Amino acid sequence: MTKGVKVLIGAVIIIFAAAVVLAVIGLKPSESTWVDIVQNNKVIYHLDLSEEDDRTFRVDFPDGGWNDIQIKDGRISIVDSDCPDHTCIKTGELRSENIPIVCLPHKLVIRFSDEGAGE
Amino acid sequence: MKAHKLARLALLTALALIIFIIELRIDIIPIPGAKLGLANIITVYAVYKYSAKETAMIVLARVLLGSIFGGNISAIMYSLAGAICCLTGMLIVKRIVPLKYIWLSSIIGAILHNTGQMIVAVMVMRSFAVLSIYPFLIITGCIAGAFTGLCAQFLISRKLIEKENKKET
């Protein structure tokens, strides 16, 4: 084993460990009930999940395409979309402050926010 | 370029493409954007067995055709950025890491692949919100990278493809 290989193995282990630590931090559930739905960097909805009724609504993307967003029992998720990868649906419900629901093709982000922010 | 070399490169591209398309149907990892990256077995193999130019040709052809056949052309920017980062990194790492530690260069390739995709995602979204899934991509990338690297290592150590080559030539 040469020195270069050792250095690279060390670097990979450090990166992996850092990723594990960051991932654990990222999994922390959010205490906020306010949610921003952001499209193209503009906040289009600012909702309090604890007061919202159960409903499903559609967000259209100006360049074509749509996402069906569902609010149920104070939880928000994307249930249907015509994007090709369906990553946003697979993400499931919004749980953590650090992990937003992202639909890259439609430039849509659903994330927790502070109360009153974005108004 | 000799015809038999061209044919061999085309064969590798076709193999990578087949693996890529079958892999699209395997949908077991719940983390968005995470993939097994089995098609990279071919990339890792090619990096060590062929020249930089030939490997780049295989990878670019695979990414372009993969996005067309996979029906996800909008994602081509991500695949392309990932592939280019991964390829450049692995071609550099190849000079340091011997064939015996091929799994290591595969892991580094996987990390760089995810990094490239993340950079494009940040540029497209103009927001750092997507970065929050980056650690998860690194973790799955490391595991998947180690797996594909080991696959490539077994492939090379068993000399499956070399035997065929000798018959051909």
* Tens-digit pLDDT profile for residues A51-98: 878 888 888 888 778 888 888 887 888 888 887 777 778 777 887 776
Residue range B44-73, pLDDT digits in tens: 888 888 888 999 999 999 888 888 887 667
Average model confidence (pLDDT) across chain B: 83
Residue B72 has what pLDDT?
67
pLDDT beyond 60 at A119: no
For B72, the closest of A8, A15, A85 (CB atoms) is A85
Question: Whole-angstrom Cα distance, residue A38 to residue A57?
Answer: 15
Could you report the per-residue pLDDT of A12-51, keeping only the tens digit for each?
Answer: 899 889 888 888 877 777 777 888 888 888 888 888 888 8
Between these two residues, B97 and B126, which has the higher pLDDT value? B97
Residue in B24, B169, B159, B87 with CA at minimum distance from that of residue A85: B24
Q: Determine what percent of chain A is predicted with pLDDT higher than 70.
A: 94
Sheet containing strand A108-112, strands side by side: A42-48, A34-39, A108-112, A101-103
Q: Is B163 a residue whose pLDDT tops 60?
A: no
Q: What is the CA radius of gyration of chain B?
A: 16
- pLDDT the model gives residue B13: 92
Reported confidence tier of residue B4, pLDDT bands at 50, 70, 90: confident
Instruction: Tell me which residues of chain A have a C-beta less than 8 Å from any C-beta of chain B.
Output: 1-2, 4-5, 8-9, 12, 15-16, 18-23, 26, 38, 41, 84-85, 87-88, 90-92, 98-100, 102, 104-105, 107, 109, 111
Contacts A–B by Cβ distance under 8 A: 90
What architecture (CATH level 2) is domain B3-168?
Orthogonal Bundle (1.10)
pLDDT digits (tens, 9 = 90+) for B7-40: 989 999 999 999 888 888 776 666 666 778 888 8
Question: In chain B, which residues have their Cβ closer than 8 Å to the Cβ of A99?
Answer: 132-133
Q: Do B104 and A38 touch (CB under 8 A)?
A: no
Pairing, β A108-112 against β A101-103: antiparallel
| Interface ipTM | 0.72
For residue B29 the two structure tokens come to: 């990892």
pLDDT at B10: 92
Q: What is the pLDDT of residues A5-20, one digit of tens each?
A: 888 888 889 988 988 8
Mean of the per-residue pLDDT values of chain A? 81
Question: Residue ranges per domain, chain B?
Answer: 3-168
Which two tokens mark B9? Answer: 């490169």
